[in-house]
Amino acid sequence: MTARRTYPTIDLSQANLTADEHALAQGIVNHHTGCLRASKPTIVYTETDERDEFGGRKVVTEGGETAYIWRMVAFSVSPDDRHHCMPMTADFGLNGDYNERLALAKKLDAIADKIINTVPKAQWYGVTRWARAFGY
């Protein structure tokens, strides 16, 4: 039996984030422990009266940016093996069409990278797992 790893401490003050980036990122931290949250922050989905290109109601999300940042950080540093699967649908909680979500995801990736780089490399559990999978 292996010892349970603790979630890495996330110190957003060390990440060199702007005020807007910090506002998005603070939801990835468990405020009781100062560590990465164990689960994805909630995304609220609201239907509008507008119609999308398929005739369905458009949906607006709230909290999707924070959930996306959490997913990217968790993929790299979470000790929970379930978080190490490829985050293929992480952008589904973002607003906009595919191209708009892709552009926003690039900006959010930069925020996640700043946060990940504050965590000691010894706690990059997901990165280590994928490195082993590729034979590094």
Q: What are phi and psi of 86, to 5 degrees?
A: -60, 130
Q: How far apart are alpha carbons 6 and 73 in whole angstroms?
A: 15
* DSSP string covering 98-118: HHHHHHHHHHHHHHHHHHHTT
Nearest to 11 by CA among 133, 112, 102, 118: 118
For residue range 53-108, what is the model confidence (pLDDT) as tens digits?
A: 788 888 899 999 999 999 999 999 999 999 999 999 999 999 998 899 999 999 99
For residue range 120-133, what is the model confidence (pLDDT) as tens digits?
A: 999 999 999 998 88
pTM equals: 0.91
